[in-house]
Amino acid sequence: MSHTQDRRLAVLCAIVEDYVSTREPVGSKAVTERHHLGVSPATVRNDMAILEEAGLLVQPHTSAGRIPTDAGYRAFVDSLDEIKPLSAPERAAFQKTLMEAVDLDDVIARAARLLSHLTNQVAVLQYPSLRQSNLRHIELVALRPRLFMLVLITNTGRVEQRTVKSADEIGEDDLHLISAALNSCLTGVPISRLRARRDLVAEKLEFRLRAAAGEFTDTIVEVLEAESEERVVVSGTGNLSRYDVDFSASISPVLDALEEQIVLLKLMAFREKGVSVRIGSENSSTELSETSLVTAGYSNGADGEVARVGVIGPTRMNYPAAMSGVLAISQYLTEILQSHR
């Protein structure tokens, strides 16, 4: 990139930063005074005119100020060399809050609130998909002679509990045998393939235990298939009220879209390595055409990405802060899932 191109990119970045901060069109005088680019206002005005011709800036009215277009924001985001890490106090606060969570639901809720608070945007956090999960452990606990607690733990940290009534009384030794057969045949197997392994469980047991084992296997399959629906948690929708002026009509269509799980799941279905940023018209949903979406995937280590976390806000967004927060949360969620493998 030439010196002139470098300078014009610096002018664009300065305008993006100032407009995000002030929501006022940015003029050449402000750029030279605030950012010390080492050139005259006349040179900056010329650069601004060229950036406008390229579709990266627009002049909203007759004033000399310019504001970024979606393409301008894209060029700004693409110019970022690295994502700034959180400060040491921020990292400590994140880690402490998330590590105090009692279960996966609590982790997801806490992470969404943290991300919303950190970025002042709407946080969107996808649950680890059971469709992409494996069973990690099955526990059977006797409550009464014919009543049992079935505890299922997946490799993504999901814990499901159900009570199971058996037609037969099952002693402690037999319960251990059934539990061992279930764990041997069903753990480490994708949930979509559990039903096909029912007969394998029976084959590992004496005939007298097969009916009871079948009851437990059927319950496991039913529970996990019923709970496999994708879910998304949203936190901080109130943050949108502070950006009401950033939308041409109102924030109502955005709020309506955030209430639709299908819309959110489509947004989060986009897969890209690292932190992904989609700006304005790059979003597939027309209701969100004046918003930007910043997302990153998180994983349990061995099985790759299991879900995504992100923020939604107006295109006039502090992209470096949003990208930093999203990346931090995705990394902490990955650490937590790995620790529960």
Q: Which pLDDT band holds residue 73 (cuts at 50, 70, 90)?
A: very high
Mean pLDDT calculated for residue range 7-34: 93
Burial of 267 (0-12, 13-18, 19+ CB in 10 A): buried
Q: How far apart are CA 18 and CA 28, in angstroms?
A: 12
Q: Which pLDDT band holds residue 25 (cuts at 50, 70, 90)?
A: very high
Q: Which pLDDT band holds residue 340 (cuts at 50, 70, 90)?
A: low
**The pLDDT value given to residue 295:** 94
**The pLDDT value given to residue 285:** 78
Residues 80-128: tens digit of each pLDDT: 988 888 888 888 887 888 878 878 888 889 999 999 999 999 999 988 7
**The pLDDT value given to residue 75:** 96
| Paired tokens of 223 | 């529970």
- Cα separation values, 145 from 148, 151, 168, 216, 232, Å: 8, 17, 8, 15, 39
Cβ-based neighbours of 242, under 8 Å, separated by 6 or more:
120
Q: How far apart are CA 15 and CA 235, in angstroms?
A: 30
Residue whose token pair is 């990153």: 296
Please indicate whether residue 230 or residue 42 has the higher confidence score (pLDDT). 42
**The pLDDT value given to residue 302:** 61
Which 8-state DSSP code applies to residue 247? S
Please indicate whether residue 20 or residue 160 has the higher confidence score (pLDDT). 20
Do 121 and 215 touch, CB atoms closer than 8 A? no
Residue 341 predicted with pLDDT over 60: no
Please indicate whether residue 101 or residue 185 has the higher confidence score (pLDDT). 185
Q: Where are the beta strands (DSSP E) in the chain?
A: 57-58, 67-68, 122-126, 135-144, 147-154, 159-165, 232-235, 275-279, 291-299, 305-314
Q: Which pLDDT band holds residue 207 (cuts at 50, 70, 90)?
A: very high
Residues 43-71: tens digit of each pLDDT: 999 999 999 999 999 998 777 789 999 99
Count of other CB atoms within 10 angstroms of residue 286: 10
Mean pLDDT calculated for residue range 146-168: 86
Mean pLDDT of the chain: 87
Mean pLDDT calculated for residue range 6-17: 94
Report the largest interatomic distance among the alpha carbons of the chain, rounded to a whole angstrom: 91
| Paired tokens of 301 | 């280590």
Q: Which pLDDT band holds residue 303 (cuts at 50, 70, 90)?
A: low
Cβ-based neighbours of 153, under 8 Å, separated by 6 or more:
135, 136, 137, 138, 139, 159
Model pTM greater than 0.75? yes
Residue 279 predicted with pLDDT over 90: yes
Mean pLDDT calculated for residue range 212-240: 84
Highest mean pLDDT among 226-235, 238-247, 307-316: 307-316
Which 8-state DSSP code applies to residue 190? B
**The pLDDT value given to residue 286:** 81
Residue whose token pair is 């529960």: 340
Structural domains in the chain plus CATH codes: 3-79 (1.10.10.10), 88-128+230-339 (3.30.450.40), 131-226 (3.30.390.60)
Residue whose token pair is 């990292």: 91
Enumerate the β-bridge partners of residue 331: none
Cβ-based neighbours of 209, under 8 Å, separated by 6 or more:
170, 174, 177, 178
